[in-house]
Structure 1
Amino acid sequence: MSHPCGARVSRFTAPLLFGLIGAGILVALGTWQMQRLDEKLGILAQIESRISGPPEPLPVVVSPADQKYQPVALQGEILPAEIRILVSRKQVGAGYLIVSPFRTKDRLILLDRGFTRAENKDAARTSGPAEVVGNLHWPDDRNSATPENDVDANIWFARDIAAMAEQLGTEPLLVVARKIDPQDPDIEPMPVDTAGIPNDHLQYAITWYSLAVVWLGMTAYYISRQRKTGET
């Protein structure tokens, strides 16, 4: 004759194991996200260090993988032409990034001068001799939802370097300014930083850990209900 306590324990074994294994998997996923967070923070620190490092000469041979965020200090001339990239800033609203050709020595490159408000779209810009401190950048502005640039109306929706270089007759090389002297009063430099690089690993980890707690809670509730049912 089987003992009732042994039967009760046997009946709870499967849901208990199911709950513990499921919670263990969720905790492992959360821990993996925390490891990814540490890796991402290290990468972001390296990028920040690269951005703020000492200026280097413009590269002769362009290698975006090696030269992204390379700091540069240039002397030259801002030419009058411009491309306007439609963007939106939090707490400011719509406006445009202004990209102009910049001549430095015997080279002509693209210069992202920064943000101007929508009402300044057609304002006269300062041009002529200038000193620029900034970073080389190959922005990833375009995705499947990005409209095609309206070149005729000079309304662009992404900083497409090859197309901008062809339009302005420059090298396909973009410098995003941190500082321009003299600075156009209607343009605010928008230097490259790590703010736009996704880093959601902490949120993911919290989600997995929270699910593990819920999973254990549901397991405990189920076993409790089963126990009460068996006692009645």
Structure 2
Amino acid sequence: MRFILPLLFGIAGVAVLVSLGVWQVQRLAWKEEILARIEAKIAAEPVALPESPEQEADKYLPVEMTGRFQPGLLRVLVSQKHVGAGYRIISPFETEEGRRVLLDRGFIKIDGEMRAPPTGPVEVTGNLHWPDDRNSSTPENDLEENMWFARDIGQMAEVFETEPLLVVVREMSPEDTGATPLPVDTSAIPNDHLEYAITWFSLAVLWAAMTGLLIWRMRQPAKGAET
């Protein structure tokens, strides 16, 4: 009888931990489905720039437009794996239809040469994006030094007097030699559910092993007891 309580406690603990692991597996399937939908949307055929884009419906929407770069650029401090620190270059862009939008041209190294974009008409293929670069530790943008730490679309649009609309370049013709495109993808969207599931299942195995060890020790005769 004295083994029943530890056994029940052990079974309950394993059940809870296994259920948490199963829940994370279900969350993994849910997240992978979302990522697959986003990737399909990113890779879809580009369309003309919508008249009134909406963040919820049009995020990641592939678009194509023709126009010219306008004077000015903003530098957003970023870091690229295997490359190091550098800047995202944001420039104002005016389409043939007269719309002014923000264009994320891509990446240059922090010590790279700042080259001007093409001067003539440019054909751009990219994706609409409303990035969420800022967190609680992100410094405020330094407009005087042109040092930005987040792509705050509203603030950038005020500086350049454009629509609060950002297009992240995927391809450009003629090529922009002043920056290497950083196309929109899903790499920045966290998906840690597999690691969480492994953690919960591992804890369940450990809990079961510890329960078994406890019961085994309880069944051993007391040290010095008569046989």
Give TM-score, length-normalised by structure 2. Answer: 0.94
Superimposed CA distance per residue, residues 175-213 of structure 1 (whole angstroms, 9 cap, x where no aligned partner): 001111122224110001001000000000000000000
CA contact (8 A) 1:86 1:157 kept: yes
SS in 1 for 2:6: helix
1:179 to 149, 171, 194: 171
The answer to whether residue 8 in structure 2 is matched with residue 17 in structure 1 is yes
Structure 2 spans left out of the alignment, 5+ residues: none
What is the 5 A alignment of 1:1-232? 10-104=1-95, 105-120=97-112, 122-229=114-221, 232=225
- The one-letter code matched in structure 2 to 1:103 is E
Question: Aligned partners of 2:168 and 2:203: how far apart in 1?
Answer: 43
- Any stretches of 5+ residues in structure 1 without a counterpart? 1-9
Equivalent AA in structure 1 for residue 143 of structure 2 = V
Q: CA deviation at 1:127?
A: 3.5
Superposition RMSD on alpha carbons, in Å?
1.3
Farther off after superposition, 123-132 or 214-223: 123-132
Q: Which amino acid aligns with 1:193?
A: D
Contact 2:69–2:117 (Cα < 8 Å) also in 1: no
Greater helix fraction, Structure 1 or Structure 2: 1
C-alpha separation in 2, matches of 1:205 and 1:51: 29
How far does residue 55 in structure 1 lie from its aligned partner after superposition?
Answer: 1.2
SS at 1:84 equivalent: strand
CA deviations 1:9-35 (Å, max 9, x no partner) are x11011011101100110000000000
CA gap of 1:41–1:194, structure 2 versus 1, over 3 A, is same
Distance (whole Å) between structure 1 residues aligned to residue 65 and residue 117 of structure 2: 19
Percent of paired sites with the same residue? 55
Moved over 3 A (4+): 121-128, 229-232
Q: 2:154, 2:164 within 8 Å by CA — same for their partners in 1?
A: yes
Contact 1:96 1:121 in 2 (8 A): no
**Structure 1 residues 121 and 166, CA, compared in 2 at 3 Å: closer, same or farther?**
farther
Indicate the SS of the match to 1:48: helix
Q: Please give the alpha-carbon distance, in whole angstroms, between the structure 2 residues aligned to 1:22 and 1:188.
A: 52
Q: What is the letter of the counterpart of residue 159 of structure 2?
A: Q
Residue 176 of structure 1 aligns with an amino acid whose one-letter code is V
Change (3 A) 1:127 1:146: farther
Q: Residues 157 and 164 of structure 2 are in contact (CA less than 8 Å); yes or no, is this contact kept in structure 1? A: yes
